[in-house]
Chain A
Amino acid sequence: MHSRNAAARLRAELVPCLCLLVLAVAGCSPERYPQTALLPLSDFARIGDHVQDQTFYWALGVFVLVEGALLYAIFRFRGRPDDPEPRQIHGNTLVEIIWTVIPALILAAIAVPTVKGIFQVNGTPEGNLLEVEVVGHQWWWEFRYPQYGIVTANELVIPAGRTVHFKENSVDVIHSWWPPRFAGKRDVFPGRETRIWFKADSTGLYPGQCAEFCGIQHARMAFHVRSETPEAFEAWAAHMQTLGAPKPAAAPAPAGTDSLRTASSGANVQQESQADPLFAQGETLFRNKGCIGCHSLQAKGAPTALIGPNLANVGSRAYIAAGWLKNTDENLEAWIQNPQALKKGVLMPNLGVKPDEAKALRAYLRAHK
Chain B
Amino acid sequence: MATTVLDQQRAHAGAHAQKTGLWSWLTTVDHKRIGILYGTTAFFFFLLGGLEALLIRIQLARADNNFLSPETYNQLFTMHGTSMIFLAIMPLSAMFFNFMIPLMIGARDVAFPRLNAFSYWVFLLGGLFLNASFLFGAAPDQGWYGYANLTSRQFSPGHNVDFWNMGLQILGVASLAAGVNFFVTVINMRTRGMTMMRMPMFVWMSFITQILILLAFPVITVALILLIFDRFFGTHFFVPAGGGDPLLWQHFFWVFGHPEVYILVLPAFGIISEILPVFSRKPLFGYAAMVFSGAFIAFLGFGVWSHHMFTTGMGPIADTFFSLTTMLIAIPTGVKIFNWMGTMWGGSIQYRTPMYFAVAFIAMFIIGGLSGVMHASPPADLQQNDTYFIVAHFHYVLFGGSIFALTAGAYYWWPKMFGRLLDEKLGKVHFWLMLIGFNLTFFPMHLVGLHGMPRRTYTYPKELNFESLNQLETLGSFILGLGFLVFLFNILKTTRGPRNAPADPWNGATLEWAIPSPPPEWNFAETPVVHGRDPLWELKRQRGGRLPEPSPGTGAGIHIPPPSYWPLVSAIGVTGIFVALMMSPKWGPWGIIVAISLTFFGIYNWLFEKGYSEFTTPQGGGHH
- Residues A184 and B330 in contact, CB atoms below 8 Å apart: no
User: Nearest-CB distance from A73 to chain B (Å)?
Assistant: 5
Contact of A89 (CB < 8 Å), options: B247, B283, B338: B283
* B323 A189 Cβ-Cβ under 8 A: no
A56/B283 in contact, CB under 8 A: no
Any chain A CB within 8 A of the CB of B315?
yes
Measured between beta carbons, the chain B residues less than 8 angstroms from A96 are: 286, 289, 335, 338-339
- Could you mark each residue 439-471 of chain B with 1 if its beta carbon is under 8 Å from any beta carbon of chain A, else 0? 110011011101111111111110111101100
State A168–B432 Cα separation when bound (angstroms): 48
B residues within 8 A CB of A245?
Answer: none
Complex: how many Å from CA A37 to CA B502? Answer: 56
Query: Provided the pairs A63-B366, A77-B280, A96-B289 are in contact, do residues A174 and B150 lie with their beta carbons within 8 angstroms?
Result: yes
Cα A19 to Cα B468 with chains together (Å): 13
Select B370's contact among A52, A63, A172, A211, beta carbons within 8 Å: A63
Chain B residues numbered 452-502 whose CB sits less than 8 Å from any CB in chain A? 452-461, 463-466, 468-469, 472
In whole angstroms, what is the CA distance A117 to B147 when docked? 28
Contact of A55 among B319, B346, B380 (CB under 8 A): B380
Q: Is the CB of A192 within 8 A of B150?
A: no
**Contact of A122 with B319 in the complex, beta carbons under 8 Å:** yes
Contact of A173 among B150, B348, B447, B458 (CB under 8 A): B150
Cβ contact within 8 Å between B379 and A114: yes
* C-alpha spacing A233/B223, complex, angstroms: 47
Q: Is A36 an interface residue (CB 8 A)?
A: yes
Instruction: Assess whether B233 is interfacial by the CB under 8 Å rule.
Output: no
- Who on chain A is nearest to B240 by CB? A191
With contacts A62-B370, A91-B286, A174-B150 taken as known, whether A118 is within 8 angstroms of B383 at the C-beta atoms is: no
A184 to B452, CA, bound (A): 10
A219 engages B149 (CB within 8 Å): no
CA distance A26 to B465 in the complex (A): 11
- Whether the Cβ atoms of B143 and A85 lie closer than 8 Å is no
From A103-111, A303-311, A361-369, the one touching the partner chain is A103-111
| A207 partner residues in chain B, CB cutoff 8 A | 452, 464
* Residues in B whose Cβ lies below 8 Å from that of A77: 280, 344-349
B283 touches A88 (CB 8 A): yes
Q: 1/0 per residue A64-99: CB within 8 Å of B?
A: 001101100110011111011111111110011001
Among the stretches B25-33, B67-75, B95-103, B164-172, the one at the interface with A is B67-75
A55 touches B344 (CB 8 A): no
The stretch that binds B, out of A27-35, A157-165, A255-263, is A27-35
Contacts of A26 in B (CB 8 A): 447, 468-469
B 270-293 binary contact with A (CB < 8 Å = 1; else 0) = 000000000011111111110000
A212 to chain B, nearest CB (A): 6
Q: Are A173 and B149 touching (Cβ within 8 A)?
A: yes
Q: At the interface, yes or no: A232 with Cβ under 8 Å from chain B?
A: no
Tell me if B382 is interfacial: C-beta within 8 Å of chain A: yes
Once the chains bind, are A36 and B451 in contact (CB under 8 Å)? yes
A73 in contact with B341 given A51-B379, A344-B70 (CB within 8 Å): yes
| Residue pair A16, B436 in contact (C-beta under 8 Å) | yes
What is the bound-complex CA distance between A82 and B374, given in angstroms?
A: 44
In the complex with contacts A27-B444, A194-B312, A91-B289 CB distance below 8 A: yes
Please give me the residue from chain B that is nearest to A23 by CB atom.
B444
The answer to whether A99 touches B382 (Cβ under 8 A) is no
Please measure, in the bound complex, the distance between the C-alpha atom of A184 and the C-alpha atom of B386, giving whole angstroms. 11
Cβ A59 vs Cβ B370 within 8 A: yes
Is B359 within 8 A of A70, CB to CB?
yes
Decide if B331 touches A16 in the complex (CB within 8 Å): no
Tell me if B587 counts as interface (CB < 8 A to partner A).
no
Asked if A48 and B327 make an inter-chain contact with CB atoms under 8 angstroms apart, the answer reads: no
Beta-carbon contact of A218 and B382 below 8 Å: no
B residues 301-353 in Cβ contact with A at 8 Å: 311-313, 315-316, 319-320, 323-324, 327-328, 330-331, 334-335, 337-339, 341-342, 344-351
- A226 in contact (CB, < 8 A): no
A345 at the interface (CB under 8 A from B): yes
**How distant is the Cα of A84 from the Cα of B545 in the complex, in angstroms?**
12
CB distance from B333 to the nearest CB of A (A): 9
- B377 contacts the other chain (Cβ, under 8 Å)? yes
A194 to B327, CA, bound (A): 26
Determine whether the beta carbon of A214 is less than 8 Å from that of B150.
yes
A120: CB under 8 A from chain B?
yes
A214 and B362 CA atoms in complex are apart in Å by 36
Say yes or no: A118-B311 contact (C-beta < 8 A), given A99-B338, A107-B328.
no
Number of interface residues of B (CB under 8 A): 105
Cβ contacts under 8 Å, A180 to chain B: 383, 452
Majority secondary structure, B binding face: helix
Chain A hits for B280, CB < 8 A: 77, 86
Cβ-neighbour of B313 out of A49, A63, A194, A214 (below 8 A): A194
CA separation between A328 and B240, bound complex, in Å? 39
Q: Which residues of A lie under 8 Å from residue B313 when comparing CB positions? A: 186-187, 194-196
A209 within 8 A of B: yes
- Asked whether, in the complex, the Cβ of B454 is within 8 Å of the Cβ of A178, the reply is yes
Which of A30, A55, A222 interacts with B374 by CB under 8 Å? A55
Interfacial chain A residues near B450, Cβ < 8 Å: 36-38
Contact of A79 among B74, B350, B454 (CB under 8 A): B350
Is B245 located at the chain interface by the 8 A CB criterion? yes
Given contacts A67-B363, A187-B312, contact A19 B440 (CB under 8 A): yes
Contact call A345/B373, Cβ cutoff below 8 A: no
**Cα distance A87–B347 when bound, in Å?**
7
In the complex, the answer to whether A211 meets B454 with C-beta atoms within 8 Å is yes
CA distance A70 to B363 in the complex (A): 8
Given contacts A67-B363, A77-B349, contact A213 B464 (CB under 8 A): no
Query: A12 an interface residue at 8 Å Cβ cutoff?
Result: yes
Known A32-B465, A78-B349, A174-B246; contact A56-B311, beta-carbon cutoff 8 A? no
Docked complex Cα distance between A236 and B165 (Å):
49
Taking the closest CB of chain B, its distance from the CB of A305, in whole angstroms, is: 13
- Residues of B within 8 Å of A264, CB to CB, are none
Residue of A nearest to B461 (CB): A324
- Measured between beta carbons, the chain A residues less than 8 angstroms from B328 are 107
Do A27 and B382 touch across chains, with their CB atoms under 8 A apart? no
Given A81-B350, A118-B379, decide whether A107 and B439 contact each other with a Cβ distance below 8 A: no
Q: Which residue from B337, B383, B436, B469 sits with its C-beta under 8 Å from A48?
A: B383
Kindly state the separation between the CA atoms of A191 and B244 in the bound complex, as whole angstroms. Answer: 9
Give the contacting residue for A122; candidates B315, B444, B447; CB below 8 A: B315
Expressed in whole angstroms, the Cα–Cα distance for A174 and B459 within the complex equals: 20
Identify which of B319, B386, B440, B464 contacts A35 (C-beta below 8 A): B464
For B463, give its contact among A34, A52, A85, A120 (CB under 8 Å): A34
Chain B residues whose C-beta falls within 8 Å of the C-beta of A42 in the assembled complex: none
B52 at the interface (CB under 8 A from A): no
6 contacts between A and B (CB under 8 A): A16-B436, A37-B451, A55-B380, A91-B285, A103-B331, A189-B240
In the A-B complex, the 8 residue pairs with the closest CB atoms: A184-B382, A79-B348, A35-B452, A191-B240, A27-B447, A219-B457, A117-B379, A52-B380
Given contacts A26-B469, A219-B460, 4 further A-B contacts (CB under 8 A): A67-B366, A174-B147, A180-B452, A190-B241
